[in-house]
Each structure stands twice: as structure tokens, then as C-alpha cells.
Amino acid sequence: MTLDRREFLILASGAMVLAPALARGARAAGYAEGEMVVGSADAPVTIIEYSSMTCPHCANFHINTYGKLKEAYIDTGKVRLLFREFPLDGIALQASILARCAGAKRFFAFIDVLFEQQAGWSRAADPTAALTRIGRLGGLGAKKFQACLADRALGDSILKTRLDGGAEYDITGTPTFIVNGKKHKGSFSFPAFERLLEPLLRGK
């Protein structure tokens, strides 16, 4: 389901007050800020991935395609990938906050785990508790996660990424990939990415 801007902001506002009252207004320290990037800044092709942590097609991409894409194109300096959050619901927003809360060095490791275990935490009776358990197993304490949930600046930065994506690229669903400025929708297989990338890389 895709929410319109008003519905999403109402839902997100509720998601940001889940932390205990004493934690409200607290500033979480050490979370990942700004653009989350893998690959060389000199890569001839840039992929911007807009993704929601509760999106099954996004999980499918990360589980079945991303590793091959990284090995063949990102690690070889051909492609740089920018991961941008586009949460489609409040649970996805919380998951994005968890990954950011883990810090820049562990951000993508948490993204991998969250997508691999998506079916469990996203459908749990208490998704916040399920995410807290994942954080704890990854070395992120419950108190820090609660502080991150309560950190308005962190939540607002994720919401801004979503709103900016809608304004700049007319993103309406996930996953959506912007490849050297051109929009492509859907969960691409690795062969589909090969067909897309190889013509862009010829002569580079």
C-alpha cells in the first residue's frame, strides 16, 4: 500500500512518540547521518535505490540480487550505489531508524539483516519489540534504540529523504532505482541489471 503525503505524515508522527516519556526530546548520539553510499566516488554509473524496509520486493532485491551486483559492479569500481530510505509505513520508519542508530559502519549490515528477517519482525504482534531484539543481537542496546526513536532530528531526516524523492523523481513505490538519472521501477534481477548497466559502461 502506498500512502499519500498527508496520511504518511500522520502515521509517521505516531511512530516517533513510541519511546518512553523520559526519553522524549533526547538526542541520540553516534547514528549514521547523511547519504549512505557503497562504491567508489569515481564510478561511471551511479544507482540511487529508494527502498522501504517493509517492502517484500525490496527484500527480494537485497537477498537475491544485491550481493551479485556488489561483487560484479560495485566492488570493481564500476557502480556507486546510494541507499535512500522511502518508508511506506510507520514500521518501516522504525526499521530505518534502527539501521541509522547502529552507526555508519554498521548501517548496511543492519540493512542486510533487516531484509533477511523482514517476514518475522514486520509481521510481529509488537514490531518495536522485535526490532529491539534485532538491535540487541547486533550490539545495539534497547536504551539507545529508544533514544533514536525519540530523536526528532533523526526521524525527520528520514522523512525528508522520502519527501525529497517524491518531489525530485516522482517516487511512488519501492523499490525504485535511479540509474544515471533515469528512473526504473521494480525489483530487478541480476541479469536485468546487467542488461541495463553494460551499455552504460561500454567505452568508459
The CB density around residue 193, as the number of other CB atoms within 10 Å, is: 22
CA 57 – CA 52 distance, rounded (Å): 9
Across the strands, what pairs with 177? 49, 184
- SS3 for the chain, per residue? CCCCHHHHHHHHHHHCCCCCHHHCCCCCCCCCCCCEEECCCCCCEEEEEEECCCCHHHHHHHHHCHHHHHHHHHCCCCEEEEEEECCCCHHHHHHHHHHHHCCCCCHHHHHHHHHHCHHHHCCCCCHHHHHHHHHHHCCCCHHHHHHHHHCHHHHHHHHHHHHHHHHHHCCCCCCEEEECCEEEECCCCHHHHHHHHHHHHCCC
Of residues 9 and 186, more confidence is placed in: 186
CA 198 – CA 9 distance, rounded (Å): 39
pLDDT at 18 over 70: no
Listed by start position, the domains of the chain span: 5-20+29-199
pLDDT at 16 over 90: no
Percent of the chain with pLDDT over 70: 85
Residue-level pLDDT at 19: 39
Q: Work out the average pLDDT over 31-37.
A: 95
> Residue 30's pLDDT band (boundaries 50, 70, 90)?
confident
Mean pLDDT across the chain: 89
Instruction: For residue 48, give the nearest of 166, 159, 178 by alpha carbon.
Output: 178
Strand order through the sheet with 182-185: 36-38, 79-85, 45-51, 176-179, 182-185
Q: Work out the average pLDDT over 60-70.
A: 97
pLDDT at 114 over 90: yes
For 133-189, the pLDDT digits (tens) are 999 999 999 999 999 999 999 999 999 999 999 999 999 999 999 999 999 998 889
For 116-146, the pLDDT digits (tens) are 999 999 999 999 999 999 999 999 999 999 9
pLDDT at 196 over 80: yes
The CATH code that applies to domain 5-20+29-199 is: 3.40.30.10
Q: Work out the average pLDDT over 9-17.
A: 43
